[in-house]
Amino acid sequence: MKNHPKNRWQDSVAKTLDPVARLVYRSNLIGEDPTLTNTGGGNTSSKITEKDPLTHQDAEVLWVKGSGGDLRTAKRDGFSSLYMEKLKGLQKNYLGSKTKGPKTQIEDDMVGAYAHCTFNLNPRPSSIDTPLHGFVPARHVDHTHPNAAISLAACAKGKELTKEIYGDEVIWTEWQRPGFDLGLILEKLCKDHPKAKGAIMGQHGLINWHEDDKKCYELTLELVGRAAEAIEKKDRGEKTFGGEKYKSPGEKERKALWLSILPWLRGKVSSQQRMIGTVQENATILRFVNSKDAPRLAEMGTSCPDHFLRTKIKPLYVPWDPATGDVAKLRSLLQEGLEAYRADYKKYYEKCKRKDSPAMRDPNPTVVLIPGLGMVAWGKSKSESRVTAEFYNCAVEVMRGAEALDGYINLPQQEAFDIEYWQLEEAKLRRMPPEQELARQVIAVVGAGSGIGKETAHRLAKEGASIVCVDLNEKAAQETSAELVKKLGEGIGVAGRGISGCGPAIGLGANIVDRKSVAEMLGEAVYAYGGIDGVVVTAGIFVPPDLEGRIPDEKWAQTFAINVTGSYVVADEANKIFKAQGLPASLVLTTSVNAVVAKKGSLAYDTSKAAANHLVRELAIELSPLVRVNAVAPATVVQGSAMFPRDRVMASLAKYKIPFSEKEGDEELRTRLAEFYAKRTLTQSPITPADQAEAAFLLVSGKRFPRTTGQVIHVDGGLADGFLR
Ligand SMILES: [Zn+2]
């Protein structure tokens, strides 16, 4: 049955595992199934008898998924371990406090006390849900956020429906913010209903328990399955969300529409800080945004507490009619919608804030819904925006279920606010390491398949940028992007249509002398990330001359086409995106020291690079004040360069009368030539791709030389002949 979770437990695997590893195994099985829980949501536990490292006596230890991470990817180190006796002992402190109950100071203080219950110096901080697991007496506990169960939890008649579906096996509990007190409520529930197997936690999720771990997992599946079946029975089919109001244009037109508004929209939602986007336009999302009820339901916002921090209290929905295809109208609706949204958010903050609430955060929406097109979600990184999109996908499923069963109700605003602006959440945000220098930036590196370009892609990714690796050789571009993703990880969050579901880097092919190819490449980058903040062009060509130092006319034309026109075309196309975004941007070209040194033997290359130097200056004027344009001018970078194939290396060695043997390997020959070049420089050291990448990073970053534009920086080891004057 659709949405019915599948049992994936394998005894042959489980029996090889120790009790903690079995918990990790069970957790991953749950986390990998999107019908059971969302990224970062839910937690699992086992109470396990361990040897105390000091007394060597048996101790009851609660292993429970800790703070941070998620069930899908959690390993053993993602779980905290606490002495049961000490954890239970905290009840005395809590109950002894004069003021207690949800949202009291003692509740938040208890979180600090969990560290004192740690077994065996486990450094993983305990989650806020630890008492839920500790105070339910059963040995194994699963707490999940399944869309089907939350549908039930987010119904006006949730309590009655729970009884109808589960009888006395699952008990309803009213919404309450997670914490120590909720643990006590669950403990009492287990005492009052000794036969109960679980509870639906109002507007939150599901919790269930068992003495056996496999049976606990199977129970989770069964309970979620029963909720899913109840929903399917009442599924409204065509009438879902009140039925269809708008029709989506075809795939191609949809994409063209997305591309025509994304950079502009990104500029608007980045009015306080830059955001990275994820586009979602699958059938489920399209059915929702195209429906009659979408405006009413969107206004009600999401219902699962761990969603608010990313999706905000509600999305921005604009009532655009896709049948008109009127982009100008869409823009004006978005503009009005954004202004109203920000004002509304401020109102919500002012109305709900408490004496000690943290300052108001960015009032821009993180989820934007457009009839006909779908959804774009925004976050501080690609991974975060994917999580945001995933959470709103979940919210749509929850609303579908709740509307089918009965009617969807949202969490009261104050409750949502008390989660969004919880002091404990604020403390978590403050503990996060400062953002990297290029965080929130999307930078395309054209020529990323090899040499300086590849090195630059790695250098910029290390500073936190999302990287669009571009090369004439698409496979090479994809190899570089795969290296980056491997190094940095995909991140979390399962969402995004096609390339928009990407990680921190993508690889694309483009021919920079072909404007259409460049425009298509930039379009893919925009669809993947929402926009672009910088472009570094390292692509270039050196055609080796014949013995007289000449090259054929068509090669001359090709040299100018790639080294001058190509950079111009990339700049011109990228500038359309920069202008639409209205955010400061940066362009870094690659010229050469040869541009200013007149000599024999490379007439076409040298004059093309001289033209490129002037292109930098002209573009700096043309694209100001929004875009800074600078260039790096390398000299004789031999290592890893596609411009120094074996033939050219040997020709150069012969030209400088440096002895070599044809039997020597490529690297040996290159090293010999690089050492010769190094000796000609003032710093007497070889010039590497890493030196060039460093300069490209300094110029592209808006923080290092924010007031430098129209400049060419030589990275040549110091060549007096190349001094600019
Ligand atoms: Zn939860």
> Which tens digits make up the pLDDT trace of 693-713?
999 999 999 999 999 999 999
Tens of pLDDT, residues 64-82: 999 888 899 999 999 999 9
The pLDDT, as a whole number, for residue 319 is 97
Q: How many angstroms separate the Cα of 227 from the Cα of each of 44, 155, 396?
A: 20, 12, 16
* Ligand 1 mean position, distance from CA 521 (Å): 41
Task: For the chain, report the end-to-end CA distance as a whole number of angstroms.
Answer: 76
Token code pair at residue 198: 């679980």
* Ligand 1 mean position, distance from CA 42 (Å): 5
Using 50 as the pLDDT threshold, list the residues of the chain that sit under it: none
Write the Ramachandran bin of 433: left for phi over 0, alpha for psi from -120 to 50, otherwise beta. beta
Token code pair at residue 356: 């000690």
* Ligand 1 mean position, distance from CA 580 (Å): 40
Q: Which DSSP letter does residue 376 get?
A: E
* Ligand 1 mean position, distance from CA 79 (Å): 16
Q: How many angstroms separate the Cα of 494 from the Cα of each of 40, 96, 280, 394, 498?
A: 11, 44, 11, 11, 12
* Ligand 1 mean position, distance from CA 10 (Å): 26
Q: At what angle do helices 553-560 and 603-623 cross, to 10 degrees?
A: 30
What DSSP line would sit under 377-433, residue for residue?
EEESSHHHHHHHHHHHHHHHHHHHHHHHHS-B-PPPHHHHHHHHT-HHHHHHHHHSP
* Ligand 1 mean position, distance from CA 178 (Å): 7
Cα–Cα distance for residue pair 660/18, rounded to 1 Å: 62
* Residue 336, C-beta contacts closer than 8 angstroms, at least 6 positions apart: none
* Ligand 1 mean position, distance from CA 205 (Å): 6
* Ligand 1 mean position, distance from CA 141 (Å): 13
Report the candidate in 371, 320, 367, 321 with the shortest Cα–Cα distance to residue 345.
Answer: 367
The pLDDT, as a whole number, for residue 3 is 63
Q: The whole model's pTM is what?
A: 0.93
Q: How many angstroms separate the Cα of 654 from the Cα of each of 327, 586, 604, 638?
A: 62, 41, 21, 16
Contact status, residue 241 vs residue 294, Cβ threshold 8 Å: yes
Tens of pLDDT, residues 175-196: 999 999 999 999 999 999 999 9
Q: Which of 83, 605, 656, 677 is catalytic?
A: 605
Q: How many angstroms separate the Cα of 156 from the Cα of each of 240, 384, 635?
A: 18, 31, 71
Question: 304 has which bridge partners?
Answer: none
* Ligand 1 mean position, distance from CA 65 (Å): 12
Tens of pLDDT, residues 218-266: 999 999 999 999 999 999 999 999 999 999 999 999 999 999 999 999 9
Token code pair at residue 29: 């099985």
Q: Which DSSP letter does residue 367 get?
A: E
* Ligand 1 mean position, distance from CA 107 (Å): 17
Other CB atoms within 10 Å distance of the CB of residue 489: 11
Look up residue 230 and give its amino acid. Answer: A
* Ligand 1 mean position, distance from CA 204 (Å): 6
* Ligand 1 mean position, distance from CA 201 (Å): 9
* Ligand 1 mean position, distance from CA 154 (Å): 14
**Residue 605 a catalytic site member:** yes
Q: What are the backbone dihedrals phi and psi of residue 471, each rounded to the nearest 5 degrees, phi first?
A: -155, 155
* Residue 351, C-beta contacts closer than 8 angstroms, at least 6 positions apart: 413
